[in-house]
Structure 1
Amino acid sequence: MNEIKNHPVIIIDGSLYLYSSYYGFREFQHTSGQSCGAIYGMLKMIDNIFKKYKHSEKFIIVFDSSQKTFRKKLFKEYKNNRMPMPNALCMQIQPLFRILKKIGIKVLTIPGIEADDIIGSLAYKLENIGEKILIISHDKDMLQLVTKNINIFNKKDNRIITPEVIKEKYGIAPKEFIDLLALVGDVSDNIPGIPKIGIKTALFLLNNFSNIKNIYNNIEKIQFLPLRNAKNIAIELKNNKKTAFLSYELAKIKLNISIDVNLNEMIIKKYCSKKTFRVFHKYISSF
């Protein structure tokens, strides 16, 4: 398995793993009957990461804001297919934040800004000052952030994602993943994409034209391509041009969010697994 060189800054996609922890340990309760599975699952995941990357000393965990984001203002149906956060999960968030602070892990959330945009902006800020970054996430949107110095660890398949891995699997560069999502859409975020265009067709178009802008600059050529239903695909593209560029804006992670965080704030002075879970047991008995 490929490993990013040196000791990277670890950025954890907290919002993503918060939900998977909640549903993975949904039955966990302490003696008062209060749910605590999300907290336990998050700490267990963090503990595993610390053990795997024990030579890294700089960690930060990023969460979504509860406020409306620019994407929701741009497209009111954005993420409309998601259920509201369960109350049992809501009640665990502040205790989780207190536990993370107690064990020395920097938590970052910015009002009105999604975790993806915070992670992207922070990663590129750190890369610009010479750091190597490892993002812990299995969100496919994150693939657009991958560079030589920004890799992604996908816990689902225990794999480090590099530009070479993306090129091998999809045949495109990481930044072109935005164009791919703009064409095929994203069901999880309710990004519409273009009707009747699946991933194979989208990759064929991108391999020929590199990006969505060039696809539309060459729209008259598409009907003549060696592509099944090429004429119908060209029609769908023409009829949904506004949707395509809207989907692109929704899928594109912002890299210019102002973030007032320095490396010293991310340093874990001394991590202890036993201490972490002692703090967990102490806090869950008080909320």
Structure 2
Amino acid sequence: MNKQSAKSGPKQKPFILVDGSSYLFRAFHAMPNLTNSRGEPTGAIYGVINMIRRLLKDYDPEHIAVVFDAKGPTFRNDLYPEYKATRPPMPEELAAQIEPVHEIIRAMGLPLLVVPGVEADDVIGTLARQAAAHGMETIISTGDKDMAQLVNDHVTLVNTMTDTISDREGVTEKFGIPPEHIVDYLALIGDTVDNVPGVPKVGPKTAAKWLAQYGSLEEIMRHADEIKGKVGENLRASLEQLPLAKQLVTIRRDVDLEVTPETLARQEPDAQALRDLFGRYEFKSWLAEVLGDQGEQDAATAVSESRYETVLTRKALDKWRKRLAKA
């Protein structure tokens, strides 16, 4: 069955894995430049939390993890120092929103994972494999095409930004190949964003065609002399780097983790922490939900109160003098 609507999700409560890093970047670029009255950026915070809230509403999971990339290099940088080297630095406005996103997720009672040395994809791949081994149906919430390699009979992708779900048939329909061939497909086309070298001039259609004909990247490489034209020349010139490209795009499923799917249970939200955070970042409708019967008026009051800062030190006073001088 090819699922293309979030309404056709599995009946049992699935294990939810959220690709937090993917949604953080997508929300930052998709949302308007929102700020609170302090001038703090809030667009990415709102976008990420809004998507997570929707997942909770749609699936009401008992087990869930929101996974983010850790700072610093990963094993892929050891394999290929140029990995992601062409990416521009993270905008300051985005970097400033990472910790608030983490704080709100924790306050919502959701397990948050940041594992050094690997990427969020690898943590998700490992947990999805473990969950499948225990018979748990898993939904990975992401906008990253690389995650298609993880899809199987127990693992499905959902993209809340496009309102689509991709199972095995959905992946085949989208890419022209089944999930088992996605790694080879990605190695052939490369990835300019992550600076993964592929075969020049080989795009999705050519990669899918070759895989349909030869069955695997290794077989394509063995039959490289049979492929004519400029793409054939480019393939033969790329033979030495293709195994490396395949390593770089392969999501690990064997990361040594201190948690398991069974231990990643959803907890009760911390209402006071959410009140403080939603008040500070001025998310009035969410704050009203936390306040419950106290309603919109108290939410507005809490937001208003969050705008004040008690100045107790000379340093704090000097900071405000400078801000007022620029006003």
Fold shared, TM-score > 0.5 on shorter chain: yes
Q: 1:162 aligns to what?
A: 167
Is 2:18 aligned against 1:20? no
**Change beyond 3 A, Cα 1:99–1:179:** same
Q: 1:278 aligns to what?
A: 275
Tell me, which stretches of 5 or more residues in structure 2 are unaligned?
A: 282-305, 310-327
* Alignment deviations for residues 187-234 of structure 1 (CA, whole Å, 9 cap, x no partner): 2212120012122111111001111111122233x23xxxxxx24333
Correspondence list, 1:175-186, <5 A: 175-186=180-191
Range 171-180 or range 10-19, more displaced? 171-180
Range 113-122 or range 260-269, more displaced? 260-269
Q: Within 2, Cα distance between the matches of 1:23 and 1:279?
A: 26
Q: 1:269 offset after TM fit, Å?
A: 4.0
Q: Please, which of 243, 254, 257 is the counterpart of residue 255 of structure 2?
A: 257
CA contact (8 A) 1:205 1:215 kept: yes
Q: 1:243 aligns to what?
A: 241
Correspondence list, 1:69-84, <5 A: 69-84=74-89
Q: Within 1, Cα distance between the matches of 2:223 and 2:256?
A: 37
Q: Within 1, Cα distance between the matches of 2:156 and 2:272?
A: 30
Correspondence list, 1:123-142, <5 A: 123-142=128-147
CA contact (8 A) 1:127 1:149 kept: yes
Q: Within 2, Cα distance between the matches of 1:275 and 1:207?
A: 56
**Change beyond 3 A, Cα 1:168–1:186:** same
* Alignment deviations for residues 112-153 of structure 1 (CA, whole Å, 9 cap, x no partner): 211111111111111111111000011100000000100000
**Change beyond 3 A, Cα 1:275–1:148:** farther
Q: Within 2, Cα distance between the matches of 1:71 and 1:243?
A: 14
Q: What is the DSSP-based 3-state SS (H/G/I as helix, E as strand, rest coil) of the residue aligned with 1:38?
A: helix
CA contact (8 A) 2:127 2:260 kept: no
CA contact (8 A) 2:14 2:139 kept: yes
Q: Within 2, Cα distance between the matches of 1:103 and 1:154?
A: 21
Correspondence list, 1:185-200, <5 A: 185-200=190-205
Q: Please, which of 261, 267, 274 is the counterpart of residue 265 of structure 2?
A: 267
CA contact (8 A) 2:130 2:261 kept: no
Range 165-174 or range 143-152, more displaced? 165-174
CA contact (8 A) 1:12 1:137 kept: yes
Q: Within 1, Cα distance between the matches of 2:11 and 2:253?
A: 23
**Change beyond 3 A, Cα 1:169–1:44:** closer
Correspondence list, 1:31-46, <5 A: 31-46=37-52
**Change beyond 3 A, Cα 1:6–1:23:** same
Q: Within 1, Cα distance between the matches of 2:20 and 2:136?
A: 21
User: When the two structures are aligned, how many residues end up with a matched partner?
Assistant: 278
Q: TM-score, normalised by structure 1?
A: 0.88
**Change beyond 3 A, Cα 1:50–1:241:** same
**Change beyond 3 A, Cα 1:111–1:212:** same
Is 2:3 aligned against 1:6? no
Q: TM-score, normalised by structure 2?
A: 0.78
Correspondence list, 1:38-187, <5 A: 38-54=44-60, 56-187=61-192
Q: Within 1, Cα distance between the matches of 2:231 and 2:30?
A: 41
Is 2:215 aligned against 1:218? no
**Change beyond 3 A, Cα 1:169–1:89:** closer
Q: 2:230 aligns to what?
A: 232
Q: What is the DSSP-based 3-state SS (H/G/I as helix, E as strand, rest coil) of the residue aligned with 1:242?
A: coil
RMSD value over aligned CA atoms? 2.3
CA contact (8 A) 1:183 1:244 kept: yes
